[in-house]
């Protein structure tokens, strides 16, 4: 039997199986679709949370002001310390002259306010971009105890709090995806178990006439894969429709809001869901076959 | 073709279904397996297609010792043994043609061979005009013939039939017997378990008599009557 013939046989058997146990196929597809819908909704939430948080993060700077009386040595030392610190992504030194220029540019025609001063009132400073995974509060505490540092502006405190939340969301998200995936596997495994069980006579006949183990299993695995993919597509359609509705609602409540995950992210999510559906269906079948020692 | 040496079979329930069976069946023989219900006929047949393993003793099928046969080789043994049941065991969701063709497809036969062999065996069993019907649409006698066709389509060396006429009217039973004789005449070794002593007398062949798991008599070739 050629590979093509063998593939078409298994595909035909799988479709036959779905056709003749419509109720079970619908149950399997529904349970996969629901599991993946929940999973997908969560992933979409996570995606949006991440987009939102990384936008915040991009805007977020920690400004470290240097004491006027600090000597060049301790400033160089401080710079080196930043460069060696894993919590610091990048560091820019802004001497007071530059800071003044920035202020003047900002003031525009009103620059006389500053120009009348005989001495630059601004201190030297460092602008730090902080690693997303770093503990900002801890970093601030460490910096404040440095001799050369006069003050650390950690910006709005809530930004730091949210940055900490990023970490938490990621870990919880990871755990939740794992749990949801496992639960879906169990549900799918169970529904497919029933399909396999319903066709145990057919399986017995396949064995009787001398089909090899893999020949017996393949149609069920193909069936699992197909139902998984169909369920995933269904969950994706539901997800897109639901997401659109939700965004529509949000637009009316808070019209200014933007930067949500768009079609490219949705497409990627769709791909992931289809893959997960396929894998779920396939593994579900495999587990059921093992349990029925087919 | 089939050899059994001191075969015993004790089920996990403790029932001793077979005790010390010694039996030799040569290629091309036709053998009846008779005896009361519970004598162990079905168990003996299940050993032949390795649905069960003997508790002790040896079963050799076509030179292959079934206890030593690796799990992965079992499908290949099954391809040389056709099995027919009293209760047919057809797949209700497949047509007659596909029930028979299935037995070839699942052993990986190319599709033109599947078509050719399936048509040939359906023709031989007079089922050609029923090819596209489903099992629920045909009679018991026809179902049994489909079951035989499925067992034969892969050209097995041995045909094992467990009370194939048990569910049929006498007339249909005679029909099935004629078919089995014909198959045997073509060189297939046939083993048939039966209750029906009328048929055994009508189509006289070697008779192995089983009672309580033991062979109590083994009559070689009772002379043929008119068949
Ligand atoms: N799977 C089984 N498990 C336990 N006992 C069985 C099983 N199959 C058959 N038996 C017992 O083995 C004995 C022989 O049964 P069987 O081979 O079916 O006899 P027959 O086909 O001659 O009626 C009976 O007592 C039956 O109850
Ligand atoms: Mg029996």
Query: CB contacts < 8 Å between A and B, how many?
Result: 56
Using the atom order of ligand 1, give the atom closest to the CA of residue B213.
14
Give yes or no: residues A86 and A183 share one domain. no
Mean pLDDT of B18-24: 96
Reported as a pLDDT band with limits 50, 70 and 90, residue B14 is very high
Q: What are phi and psi of B58, to 5 degrees?
A: -130, 140
Are A175 and A47 found together in one domain? yes
Q: What is the mean pLDDT of residues B201-225?
A: 85
- What residues pair up with B218 in beta bridges, in sequence order? B208
Q: Which of A126, A147, A168 lies at the terminal end of a domain, its last residue?
A: A147
Q: What is the ipTM of this complex?
A: 0.84
Q: Where are the beta strands (DSSP E) in chain B?
A: 2-10, 16-25, 30-34, 56-61, 64-65, 81-84, 158-162, 189-194, 206-211, 214-219
β-strands A125-130, A88-94 pairing: antiparallel
Of A51 and B123, more confident: B123
A80 or A136, which is more confident: A80
Which of the listed residues A125, A147, A169 is the one where a domain comes to its end? A147
pLDDT at A157 over 70: no
**B64 - beta bridge partners?**
B61
Q: Say if residues B57 and B8 touch (Cβ distance below 8 Å).
A: yes
Comparing CA positions, the residue from A46, A42, A30, A15 lying closest to residue A235 is: A30
Pair (A170, A43) in one structural domain: yes
Q: What is the pLDDT of residues B150-207, one digit of tens each?
A: 999 999 999 999 999 988 888 889 988 999 999 999 999 999 999 888 889 888 899 9
**Residue listed under structure tokens 């939740």:** A176
> Domain check: are A240 and A177 in the same one?
yes
Whether ligand 1 lies within 6 angstroms of the CB of B11 is answered as: yes
B36 CA closest ligand 1 atom index: 22
Q: Which ligand is nearest to the CA of B86?
A: 2
**Is residue A173 over pLDDT 60?**
yes
Same domain, A92 and A135: yes
Residue after which a domain boundary falls, among A98, A126, A147: A147
Nearest CA to ligand 1 atom 26: B38
pLDDT recorded at residue B225: 52
Q: Is residue A204 part of a domain?
A: yes
Give the mutation target among B34, B40, B162 for probing the ligand 1 site: most ligand atoms within 8 A of CB: B40
Residues of chain A contacting residue B94, judged by C-beta atoms under 8 Å apart: 16
Query: What percent of chain B lies above the pLDDT cut of 90?
Result: 80
CATH number, residue A140: 3.30.70
In 10 A of CB A74, how many CB atoms? 15
Q: Where are the alpha helices (DSSP H) in B7-139?
A: 41-48, 74-78, 96-105, 111-124
Specify if A210 maps to a domain: yes
Between the alpha carbon of residue A164 and those of residues A133, A135, A170, B170, the distances in Å are: 8, 7, 10, 85
- The mean pLDDT value for A80-89 works out to 80
- Coil, strand or helix: which one is B82? strand
B205 and B30 in contact (C-beta within 8 Å)?
Answer: yes
Using DSSP's 3-state secondary structure scheme, residue B127 falls into coil
What confidence tier does B104 reach under pLDDT thresholds 50, 70, 90?
A: very high
Say yes or no: CB of residue B194 within 6 Å of ligand 1. Answer: no
Q: Residue A21 pLDDT > 80, yes or no?
A: no
Q: Are residues A115 and A241 in the same domain?
A: no
In a domain, A61, yes or no: no
Q: Give the per-residue pLDDT at A96.
A: 79
Interface of B with A in 123-162 (CB under 8 A): 150, 154
Residue nearest to atom 21 of ligand 1 (CA): B42
Q: What is the mean pLDDT of chain A?
A: 80
Span A26-55, average pLDDT: 82
Q: Are residues A47 and A78 in the same domain?
A: no
Pairwise pLDDT comparison (B72 vs A84), residue with the higher score: B72
Rounded Cα gap, residues B36 and B212, in angstroms: 8
**Do A130 and A14 sit in the same domain of this protein?**
no
* A167 and A43 belong to one structural domain: yes
Same domain, A199 and A245: yes
Q: Which residues of A touch B72 (CB under 8 A)?
A: 212-213
- Per-residue confidence band for A290, with pLDDT thresholds at 50, 70 and 90: confident
Which pLDDT does position A238 carry in this prediction?
Answer: 93
User: Domains in chain A: how many in total?
Assistant: 2
Q: How far apart are CA B21 and CA B215, in angstroms?
A: 7
Q: Which domain holds residue A142?
A: 68-147
Q: If you measure from the C-alpha of residue B85 to the centroid of ligand 2, how many angstroms do you get, rounded to a whole number? A: 9
| B175 neighbors B183 (Cβ within 8 angstroms) | no
Closest C-alpha to A127, from A93, A157, A99: A93
**A43/A174 same-domain check:** yes
More confident residue, A32 or B79: B79
Residue A79 within a domain: yes
Q: Are A31 and A78 contained in the same domain?
A: no
What is the four-CA torsion angle of A264, A269, A274, A279, rounded to 10 degrees? 140
- Condensed to tens digits (0 to 9), the pLDDT of residues A202-256 reads 888 888 999 998 888 888 888 888 888 999 999 999 999 999 898 888 888 777 6
Q: Copy the structure tokens of residue A100.
A: 């003044």
Contact in structure between A14 and A219 (CB atoms under 8 Å)? yes
pLDDT score, position B226: 47
* Rounded percentage of chain B residues whose pLDDT exceeds 70: 97
Q: Which of the four pLDDT bands, split at 50, 70 and 90, describes residue A61?
A: confident
């Amino acid at each position: 039997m050629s590979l093509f013939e063998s593939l078409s046989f298994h595909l035909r058997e799988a479709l036959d199986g779905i056709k003749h146990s419509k109720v079970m196929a619908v149950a399997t597809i529904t349970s996969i679709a629901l599991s993946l819908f929940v999973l997908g909704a969560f992933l979409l939430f996570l995606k949006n949370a991440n987009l939102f948080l990384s936008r915040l993060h991009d805007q977020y700077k920690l400004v470290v002001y240097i004491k006027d009386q600090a000597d060049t040595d301790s400033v160089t030392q401080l710079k080196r310390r930043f460069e060696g610190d894993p919590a610091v992504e990048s560091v820019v030194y802004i001497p007071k002259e530059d800071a003044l220029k920035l202020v003047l540019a900002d003031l525009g025609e009103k620059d006389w306010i500053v120009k009348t001063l005989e001495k630059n009132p601004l201190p030297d400073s460092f602008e730090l971009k902080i690693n997303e995974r770093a503990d900002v509060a801890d970093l601030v505490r460490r910096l404040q105890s440095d001799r050369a540092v006069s003050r650390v502006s950690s910006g709005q405190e809530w930004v730091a709090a949210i940055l900490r939340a990023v970490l938490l969301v990621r870990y919880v998200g990871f755990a939740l995806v794992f749990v949801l995936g496992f639960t879906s596997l169990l549900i799918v495994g169970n529904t497919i178990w029933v399909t396999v069980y319903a066709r145990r006579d057919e399986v017995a006949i396949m064995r009787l006439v001398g089909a090899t183990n893999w020949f017996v299993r393949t149609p069920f695995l193909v069936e699992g894969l197909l139902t998984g993919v169909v369920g995933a597509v269904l969950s994706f359609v539901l997800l897109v429709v639901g997401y659109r509705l939700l965004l529509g609602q949000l637009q009316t409540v808070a019209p200014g809001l933007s930067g949500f995950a768009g079609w490219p992210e949705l497409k990627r999510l769709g791909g992931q869901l289809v893959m997960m559906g396929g894998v779920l269906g396939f593994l579900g079948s495999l587990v059921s076959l093992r349990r029925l020692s087919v | 073709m089939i050899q059994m040496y001191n075969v015993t079979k004790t089920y996990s329930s403790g029932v001793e279904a077979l005790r010390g069976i010694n039996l030799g069946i040569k290629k091309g023989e036709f053998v009846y397996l008779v005896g009361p219900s519970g004598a162990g006929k079905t168990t003996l047949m299940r050993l032949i297609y390795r649905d069960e393993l003997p508790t002790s003793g040896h079963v050799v099928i076509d030179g292959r010792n079934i206890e030593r046969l690796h799990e992965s080789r079992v499908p290949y043994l099954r391809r040389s043994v056709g099995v027919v049941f009293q209760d047919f065991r057809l797949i209700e969701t497949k047509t007659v043609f596909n029930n028979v063709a299935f037995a070839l497809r699942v052993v990986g036969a190319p599709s033109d061979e599947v078509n050719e062999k399936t048509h040939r065996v359906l023709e031989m069993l007079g089922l050609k005009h029923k090819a596209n019907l489903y099992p629920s649409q045909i009679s018991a006698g026809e179902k049994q013939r489909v079951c035989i066709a499925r067992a034969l389509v892969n050209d097995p060396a041995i045909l094992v039939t467990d009370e194939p006429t048990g569910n049929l009217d006498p007339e249909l039973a005679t029909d099935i017997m004629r078919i089995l004789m014909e198959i045997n005449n073509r060189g297939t070794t046939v083993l048939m378990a039966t209750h029906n002593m009328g048929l055994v007398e009508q189509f006289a062949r070697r008779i192995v008599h089983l009672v309580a798991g033991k062979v109590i008599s083994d009559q070689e070739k009772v002379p043929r009557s008119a068949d």
